[in-house]
Amino acid sequence: MLAHELWHVSFGHVLVGGVFGVRDELRVRRLTARMLISVVDYVLAERVFEGNKWRMAVELDVTLQVLEDFQGLLVNGGVCVES
């Protein structure tokens, strides 16, 4: 997803062996989820589609991974560690 890759570029992350560091990747995944999904839209989609992840992701126009990352933020109190 382009938004995800743009976060890597904005932070100056460097590929090592074809992958980003675990910490950098987690940070970017969380930021991407926060940027692409609003809490209001998420709650509405969850109610309408009764928690069906695939249908929710389609409705929110995100990948399943982004949806699951967003759900992880909700479970963890919505806090995205910036460091």
State pLDDT tens for residues 30-60. Answer: 888 998 999 999 999 999 999 999 999 999 9
SS3 of the chain: the string is CHHHHHHHHHHCCCCECCECCHHHHHHHHHHHHHHHCCHHHHHHHHHHCCCCHHHHHHHHCCCHHHHHHHHHHHHCCCCCCCC
Q: 83 in a domain, yes or no? A: no
| Residues 2-37: tens digit of each pLDDT | 576 665 667 676 665 555 566 777 888 888 899 899
pLDDT at res. 19: 57
Q: 54 in a domain, yes or no? A: yes
Q: What total number of domains does the chain contain? A: 1
| Residues 64-74: tens digit of each pLDDT | 999 999 999 88
Assigned token pair, 6: 């743009």
Domain of 56? 2-75
pLDDT at res. 82: 44
